[in-house]
Amino acid sequence: MIELEGLTKRFGTKTAVDRLSFQVRPGMITGFLGPNGAGKSTTMRMVLDLDNPTSGTVRIDGRHYRELEEPLKYIGALLDAKAMHGGRSAYNNLLCLAQANRIPPSRVAEVLDLVGLTAVARKKVKGFSLGMGQRLGIASALLGDPEILMFDEPVNGLDPEGIHWIRNLMKALAAEGRTIFVSSHLMSEMALTADHLIVIGQGRLLADTSMAEFIRQNSRSYVRLRSPQHERLVEVLRENGFHPVTAGGGTLEVDGTTTEELGELAARHRLVLHELSAQQASLEEAFMQMTAAAVEYHAHGTIAHGGGEMPPPPPADGPGPHWGESYKGA
C-alpha cells in the first residue's frame, strides 16, 4: 500500500504537487491520470525519495522509502526507461542492480525471460529500441519481486503488441495481489487497464474513484435529433417532459430516453427528422472536461482560467456524486 498525506512539492514559485492525499491499494491496478504537467512524475519521484516533498508525507507499507532496508524488495518502478547504462549489456545492467540490493544473480535471467529479453541479454543497451528499453526498465522493477510496482507512462511510444503485453503483465501482477500504480495522460488507456482511478490536475486531486463508478457516471447515453422544424421540435419535447440541449450543427441532445420513444413522439406531431441517433458520451470527453481548468497550455497558447487560477479543489473524500454531470455544457 502507498499512502500520501498532504503531499506537496514546490519548485520555486511553481506548485507541482498540491496537498495530495490518497491511498494506492493492493490487488488492483490504480491508474494515475492527469494532463501533461499535472504532477504525476513528481509525485512518483517523491514516493521513491528521488525528490524531497516541500510538505506532507508518503509512506510505503507504513514506512518512508528511506526506512526500507532493501527497497527493491518492497517497491519496483519504471520511471525513466533511459536511466540504464548504455554501454553495458541488459544482463550486466540488471546484475549491478541485483548485487547492490543483495538479490541473487539467478533472478536476473528470470526477469529477462519474463520480459522476453533473453535473446538480447548480452547486447549493449544503447542499441535497444524504445520497446526493448521499456521491457528492460520493467525487468529492473521486477528484480526484487516487490509487492508494489509503479510505472510512469509505460505504454508511451510503444507499438500495439508492446502495449498489449504491458497491459496483460500489469493485470497478471495485480491478480497476484500486488499493488500496481500506473500513470497515463490518456483516459482511453486507463479505461482498459485500471480498476481504480486517481485524477489530478495542476497537482491537485480531482477524483479518487473506482473505474466502474467513473464509467457509470460518465458513460451517459443520449439521443441526438436534427429537424428542419427545430423550434417546434424543442416545444414538443419540452411539453412532453424532456430537456433538449442545443448542440452544434443545429442538433438537439436529449438525455434519459430512446430513439424509439422520440421517433414516435415526432411522428405523432408530424415533425420531419433529418437525424435520430443513439449516442454515447466518451470517457475521454469526460476526463477532458474535468481537467479543462487544470490544463496549463492549450493548443492555441492561452492559459486556462484567466491566468491559471484553479477552482477550489473537491472535498477530500472525493468530488461528490455530481462532479461528472455538467460536462456536456447543458
Ligand X SMILES: Nc1ncnc2c1ncn2[C@@H]1O[C@H](COP(=O)(O)OP(=O)(O)OP(=O)(O)O)[C@@H](O)[C@H]1O
CA proximity to 294, closest of 204, 197, 188, 209: 204
Binding residue (CB under 6 A) for ligand X from 22, 33, 34, 103: 34
Which CB atom, from 50 or from 96, has the smaller least distance to ligand X?
50
Residue among 2, 4, 20, 38 that touches ligand X (CB under 6 A): 38
C-alpha cell at 298: 492549450
Spatial CA neighbour of 43 closest among 12, 72, 21: 21
36 binds ligand X (CB under 6 A): yes
Decide: is 16 part of the binding site for ligand X (CB under 6 A): yes
Q: Whose Cβ is closer to ligand X: residue 268's or residue 298's?
A: 298
Angle formed by the axes of helices 230-239 and 259-268, to 10°?
110
* Residue 67 burial class via C-beta count within 10 angstroms: exposed 0-12, middle 13-18, buried 19 and up: exposed
* Residues 42 and 51: beta-carbon distance below 8 Å: yes
Residues 241-270 that bind ligand X (CB under 6 A): none
Size of the site for ligand X (CB under 6 A): 12
* By CB under 6 A, residue 31 contacts ligand X: no
Q: Does 106 bind ligand X (CB under 6 A)?
A: no
Of positions 24, 40, 155, 206, contacts ligand X by CB under 6 A: 40
Binding mask 60-89 for ligand X (x = CB under 6 A): ------------------------------
C-alpha pair distances (Å), 4 with each of 24, 45, 223, 281, 292: 9, 13, 42, 32, 25
Cell, residue 168: 496483460
Cβ proximity to ligand X, 91 vs 181, nearer residue: 181
Per CB under 6 A, the list member of 31, 37, 71, 324 interacting with ligand X is 37
Identify which of residues 111 and 191 has a Cβ nearer to ligand X in the complex: 191
289: Cβ–Cβ under 8 A, 6 or more apart, which residues? 326, 327
Q: Which of 107, 135, 178, 185 binds ligand X (CB under 6 A)?
A: 185
Closest CB to ligand X among 141 and 143?
141
Reduce the DSSP state of residue 182 to 3 states and report it. Answer: strand
42 makes contact with ligand X (CB under 6 A): yes
What is the DSSP code string of 47-81?
HTTSS--SEEEEEETTB-GGG-SSGGGTEEEES-G
Name the residues that contact ligand X, by CB under 6 A. Answer: 11, 14, 16, 34, 36-42, 185
